[in-house]
Structure 1
Amino acid sequence: MRVSVVLFTSDLRVHDHPPLRAALAGADAVVPLFVRDRAVTAAGFDPPNRAAFLADCLADLDAALRERGGRLVVRGGDLVEEVCRVAAEADAAEVHLSAAHSRFAVRREERLRTALEADGRRLTVHDAVTVAVPPGEVTPASSDHFAVFTPYHRRWAKAPLRAAAAAPRRVPVPDRVRGERLPRRADIDGLSPALPPGGEREARRRVTAYWRSGLDDYERTHDDLAGDATSRLSAHLHFGTLSPVELVHRARRRGGPGADAFVRQLAWRDFHRQVLAARPAAAHADYRTRHDHWRPERAARADIEAWREGRTGYPVVDAAMRQLRHEGWMHNRARLLTASFLTKTLYVDWRVGAAHFLHWLVDGDISNNQLNWQWTAGTGTDSRPNRVLNPVAQGRRYDPDGAYVRRWVPELADVDGRRVHEPWKLPGPERAALDYPDPVVGLSEGLARFRRARGRPH
């Protein structure tokens, strides 16, 4: 009996899964395998929120495979060692894997290929599973990657897109390969109280609901903080419970300004991956240095803690930071303005903020997180590196009635309308009655400090 192994990583689904389809086409049985890689844990890539969401995804994937006559095999340890061990136990000639593009994933794939070939086995890597358009597929004439989104998007939109594959009806799995007990959300401490459920069934339910009630208005409503009108599919894209290829196809068939704007966000996701694939050091080093001399963390410690806890005195910033802790998620507009506040108003190193986001975000993704932080800090691909987002102006524009602030900052629940964005301007008795801090820094003071640091005149 011919057997192949399908190694699941960030592609925890059965719909539109080319490695699974290819393995089933070339073998009589397959071993669907997920390895809880101890190197991921050692690197701090699986904080509680993502570990819990992953547990949901694995349980759902196992259930989907069992409905098709199979099951998921889970192992723990060194990924390369465990894959080789399972391949030997199953007498599998081939291992199928979805391509990944981070430096960590590429190196791990190289180690796996070498180890399998030493055992006389073959590794087959399938691209365009975790992205719509793989890194390197569209490039400018003079470089190995696009450094500006708009020209990238023009080329990306014209790139050929493979057809989305249906879920298999049967997944036969040999009995002789055993795995560990699946991890459970209930066993993980330190979670955000409102962390959403994971898994492909939940992902597809969300897509169906959003297509009915939100997609057509996406272009008009996606920046509305209180309206919460974004798709909230980012965690499912990160864990691969949804196929980006399938989403692009479905949105293009739907058509309209909302669908176009939604697809553009998927293009941003691929854009960041092609940047990081070409410049992997950008995960921790400036993509374009501005020769910043960030405030020392020790000197800025009180400001950093106020930012982390949502006690900066700027209501929309504080609302966003509290949402992050409560849900393990934050609205995209809020991500931009909180990052701008930390890096430019407080002049704190973007890596401090990026690390905090990676700890709490269930969709915490190295390429999107690090490069969005760099874009906002002015060290990345933004063509206006010195732009500063004013939290008061941003609040008034994207939360004009103060509903988002009052939802997450209950100390300001009784402050009405636009006044909620500048509580320090309330009349004395009203201000004194609030259990809410004064701003950690004046906006003009923060702006002047930033401009001095970047060498610009006032």
Structure 2
Amino acid sequence: MNVSVVLFTSDLRLYDHPPLRAALDDARQVVPLFVRDPAVAAAGFAAPNRLAFLADCLRDLDAGLRARGGRLVVRSGDVVDEVCRVAAETDADVVHMAADASAYAHRREARLRRALEAAGRRLHVHDAVTTAVPPGEVTPAASDHFAVFTPYFRRWSGQRLRDTLGAPRTVGVPDDVGSEELPVRAELPELSPGLAPGGESEGRKRLASWLRGGVNAYEDRHDDLAGDATSRLSPHLHFGTLSPVELVHRARQAGGPGADAFVRQLAWRDFHRQVLAARPDAATRDYRTRHDHWRSERAARADVEAWREGRTGYPVIDAAMRQLLHEGWMHNRARLLTASFLTKTLYVDWRVGARHFLELLVDGDLANNQLNWQWVAGTGTDTRPNRVLNPIAQAKRHDPDGAYVRRWVPELAGLDAPLVHEPWKLRGSDRVAYDAYPDPIVDLAEGLARFKRARGHD
């Protein structure tokens, strides 16, 4: 064989890339192909922040390929049509790509396989590219997936991961394969002003820094809102500029409680993918129904808008939502707090919150986002469906000095803890001095009582 095609999807890297390595082993030349799929926009998933990060990733991938003698080929249109067109143009015998977990990815793979086989070509789908352990590799005896994390994690931890692969030294690409211009971040509107840069080069720098100085303290500090002590690698995992297999190997090599806790989070990511692969409708339907009669977005419009804009009157909730607006990213503990507040204190359908997160999050990942929202709402894999996170207690525990709140809610910058977490307790002229900040939109006790009634626990 003279030419193979590598279809890049959510694996935008050169290091530890099994499809690329296999394609180079197959043929003298490869076509590294990325297809800009209009179905992503049609489904509402083309969020500006992710498109900007994607633009960075594609430009960085192209630069890495050019440094090795190749280039990235970019096309727009239906993925199956464009892949088949490139394969026909180059007389490629085989197309390599990474497996994915979503229902759309499964349908795309099936369509592509049929179309290629009809033309006398082959599709080779590679596991353990976007996950450390493939979704269907670890299953209980009586089911196609694990519904509870702890037993899954025990089995996951015992799996032997494949060895990591180095980046190729050279990549030969046919000269006559046409490509569109690469997208540019600066041309995209409505971006979060603090959006981080994307690309494999940036991801590898962040990983190296994290392993040098952050991972050791992760077990003790991962819930510290003001300390910002998480890895911030989730966007790079979402776009595949870093390999989850490599991350697990390198964290285990680092060793220690912090590395163990980080590996556990990577296992959660794989856990959600194996749930979604087995139950694709969990992206939009309750995994475990609680027969909720949620307040709709229309009925709760004022509350939902206050939540989205960071003006609920609960400083830690508002700080988190403003961080999301500014960075297109949010601290993991803050994600739990804001999701609990919307679904349980305000009793609004989890899908309303999940959709808002996907509109802004640069790491907006269908499996993680939807299933984490369900986990918090009590409709997912969680075995404690009626747990409610109190935003005041959580703020005092995870932002004891109030630094996180003051960073993102400047109206309260003059207040020290604990008043910065409960400014409504100010009286007289002291409250007037901070009247730019709203009063709480809901009493926590009333919100809890409403939730308990709805779940039949009053």
- 1:367 equivalenced with 2:345 (yes/no): no
CA distance in 2, matches of 1:226, 1:426: 24
1:130 is aligned to 130
C-alpha deviations, 1:373-420, integer Å up to 9, x for none?
Answer: 000000001100000000000000000000000000000000112111
CA distance in 2, matches of 1:147, 1:95: 34
Letter in 2 for 1:222: H
CA distance in 2, matches of 1:428, 1:290: 44
Name the TM-score, length of structure 1 as normaliser.
0.99
1:324 is aligned to 324
CA distance in 2, matches of 1:66, 1:345: 52
2:53 is aligned to 53
C-alpha deviations, 1:299-324, integer Å up to 9, x for none?
Answer: 21000000000000000000000000
Written as runs of structure 1 = structure 2, the 5 A alignment for 1:11-410 is: 11-410=11-410
SS in 2 for 1:374: helix
Q: Which runs of 5+ in 2 are unaligned?
A: none
C-alpha deviations, 1:170-214, integer Å up to 9, x for none?
Answer: 000011111000000011000000000000000000001111111
SS in 2 for 1:229: coil
CA distance in 2, matches of 1:81, 1:357: 31
Q: Following TM superposition, by how much is the alpha carbon of 1:142 offset from its aligned partner in structure 2, in angstroms?
A: 1.3
SS in 1 for 2:418: helix
Q: Following TM superposition, by how much is the alpha carbon of 1:257 offset from its aligned partner in structure 2, in angstroms?
A: 0.3
CA distance in 2, matches of 1:227, 1:426: 27
Q: Following TM superposition, by how much is the alpha carbon of 1:40 offset from its aligned partner in structure 2, in angstroms?
A: 1.0
1:8 is aligned to 8
1:450 is aligned to 451
Letter in 2 for 1:98: A
- 1:441 equivalenced with 2:446 (yes/no): no
CA distance in 1, matches of 2:187, 2:81: 26
CA distance in 2, matches of 1:273, 1:223: 24
CA distance in 2, matches of 1:41, 1:64: 27
Q: Percent identity?
A: 76
CA distance in 2, matches of 1:261, 1:16: 23
Name the TM-score, length of structure 2 as normaliser.
0.99
Letter in 1 for 2:294: W
SS in 1 for 2:319: helix
CA distance in 2, matches of 1:326, 1:168: 37
CA distance in 1, matches of 2:43, 2:297: 22
SS in 2 for 1:214: helix
CA distance in 1, matches of 2:418, 2:218: 24
CA distance in 2, matches of 1:212, 1:426: 44
SS in 2 for 1:299: coil
Q: Following TM superposition, by how much is the alpha carbon of 1:168 offset from its aligned partner in structure 2, in angstroms?
A: 0.4
Q: Number of residue pairs matched?
A: 457
Letter in 2 for 1:296: S
CA distance in 2, matches of 1:133, 1:419: 46
Letter in 2 for 1:43: A
CA distance in 2, matches of 1:297, 1:141: 41
SS in 1 for 2:265: helix
- Decide which moves more: 291-300 or 183-192: 291-300
CA distance in 2, matches of 1:319, 1:159: 40
CA distance in 1, matches of 2:420, 2:41: 42
Q: Which runs of 5+ in 1 are unaligned?
A: none
Letter in 2 for 1:200: E
Aligned-residue RMSD, C-alpha: 0.6
CA distance in 2, matches of 1:428, 1:436: 15
Q: Following TM superposition, by how much is the alpha carbon of 1:298 offset from its aligned partner in structure 2, in angstroms?
A: 2.0
